[in-house]
Amino acid sequence: MIHFSTNVESADQAYAFLAQADVACAVAEARSILVQIYVSTPDLNWIALLVEAVRSAAPGAIIAGATSAGEICEGRVSVGSTIISLSAFSSTVLRSALLRPSPMQTYDAPAADEILGGHYHDAKALLALAPSVSSECTRSLARLIAQFPHAQIMGGYVGTNRANDTALVFLGDDIVTQGVVVVALCGEELQVVCRPYLGWKALGPSMAITQISDFVVETINDQPAADVYRHYLGLDPFRDLHLLEFPLLVERDGRIIARNPVSTAGTDGLKMIADLYVGEHVRLGYADVDAIIEDTRGGVAKLAEFAPEAIFLFSCVCRRFALQQDVLLETMPYQAIAPTVGFFTFGEYFSEDGHLQVLNSTMVVVGLREGNAPAAGRQPGDGRDPLDHLGDDPYRVRHIRATSRLFQFIGALTSQLEEANRKLRTQADCDPLTGVLNRRVFDETLTAEVSRSARYNRDLALVLIDLDHFKRVNDVYGHVAGDHVLIGIASTIADLTRRSDVFCRYGGEEFALLLPETGLAGAHMIAERIRVAIERLELFDGDIALPAITASIGIACQPHHGQDAKSILIAADSALYRAKAQGRNRICAADGVPVVKPLPQPPKGRFSPV
């Protein structure tokens, strides 16, 4: 594989570049040729001239291109320019397609073999370019990517450098403002590595996504989403493009990813480039220049071991906004390894195990080569650290570092406040002896769950558990022993609950368990497991064996036994005392029918509370 790239300002320069001896020789000897063209403005005549120039020099080349919000050539960043890159492959086969939306704005993703012909299993990489940020476009591309589980995807959503310009993509002579250009790179000898780098750190409190419609976040923490930027950063989402510098960060599968608002929607919603989901927790993010530099240093070292013959960079436009002229710190070092080309995106494509990810605020680095790497890899330049020059200028990136330090300070204060608030919430919400939720939380949750179940016509069960003859333990063995019993039984019950259940100490030796989405039969099963587990529990106060404990249990369900919190609680309490009156160590539903007979004394396990 041989790669060339240049910045051109006229058609004559394009012809001259393609006529260079080394370029012409590579074209003549290549099995396939990929030409990428990235332009700053959607000038159709200019694009047509460039395509014609390529056609005259390399008639069989696949030409894929787009407008961009900034261009990268030989590691340098430019704005308002045109980049032409030519990759000549000796064994790789290229296949391409243009996915067009239907009149209903849906995309019919072609089958993999329609794009690849007979090279389906050899696909190593897919280059994808799309001008339209839409959920349907993303879903269509995801369906296509799923057919290539072993291929790396690269590229992204394209944009322009001027707000009023229309973004476009093109495949040869086909130029579209809606559609997806896809180029598949196939071949056994082709080797591809693809790595994303973020470098953004979390700032401020954790916040929950509470309402979302398609790619529009409507509310965060049940407040208008745009208020997050007004409150914490003093930004007007209707005016300030600085939103791009402060994405929302979310953790998925152990990886922090960013989600950038691109505009407002409706009254106070935020339109995103990629997906977020209700229930996910987000925090504001900021650019940490030290993290970005370290990512670059580590990325260059890893890529040097791979020894690429060409490097493609797809970097989020917000990185250019945040780093300004210092964006070169993360693009130039890669040029020391291999010829580098790329552009600034409005959403970067990345894939893992055949699953498409649309990233934001990220730089995706792609290394390509044909054949095996040299034994020693490819050392950057003279083997020195490509970022060593930063140490020669103590004032370089000082302004960004100062801002990063300030954000780190604010982040540290936020973490301390969150930890203090967590401890306060624990003290306020949890029973100090057993560690389970307390009566106040139970009362609040019962009211909320009853209302929710009524609204959505869902089942809800309440289980009240009272320990039989518990007073005897306190009277005979003392209150410390009684505390051990309560701790052990609370732990045993908690182990039997689901994540959605709400388990509380109701008072004294009585516990309450709220079971959302659970009817009477399901509540009976759970209550019986609890009753048996308590009966089998062997408790100790130090080395002193304590007597076996049993429990009486009452169950009430919404809507069968009540329509509000008070009536359901009264029904469960009546069922509990009916269980005690009928001999204890049993379960009664609110209708008074015992549903479980006491089991024979089972074998005991050992439990010794700490």
Q: How is residue 597 annotated by DSSP?
A: P
Which tokens hold the place of 5? 């790239």
Separation between Cα atoms, residue 98 and residue 292, nearest integer Å: 35
- Residue 439, Ramachandran bin (φ over 0: left; ψ between -120 and 50: alpha; else beta): alpha
Residue 44's nearest CA partner among 166, 178, 159, 163 is 166
* CA 211 to centroid of chain Cα atoms: 17
DSSP string, 383-430: SS-TTGGGGG-TTTTHHHHHHHHHHHHHHHHHHHHHHHHHHHHHHHHB
| Length of the chain counted residue by residue | 610
Tokens read off for 67? 């407008």
Catalytic residue among 71, 245, 330, 509: 509
Q: Per the structure block, which two tokens stand in for 369?
A: 């080569």
Decide: helix, strand or coil at residue 255.
strand
Show Cβ contacts of residue 525 under 8 Å, excluding neighbours closer than 6 positions.
none
- The CA-atom distances, in angstroms, between 530 and each of 335, 441, 464, 511 are 65, 22, 11, 11
Which residues lie below 8 Å from residue 180, measured CB to CB, with a gap of 6+?
Answer: 98, 99, 107, 128, 129, 130, 137, 140, 141, 169
Q: Which of 277, 273, 140 is nearest to 210 (CA)?
A: 277
The residue among 195, 190, 224 whose CA lies nearest residue 207 is 224
- Say which residues have a Cβ less than 8 Å from residue 475's Cβ, sequence separation at least 6: none
> What is the DSSP code (8-state) at residue 606?
-
User: Any catalytic annotation for residue 309?
Assistant: no
Other Cβ atoms less than 10 A from the Cβ of 161: the count is 18
| Alpha-helix residue ranges (DSSP H) falling in 30-108 | 44-57
SS3 call for 164: coil
Residues designated catalytic: 509
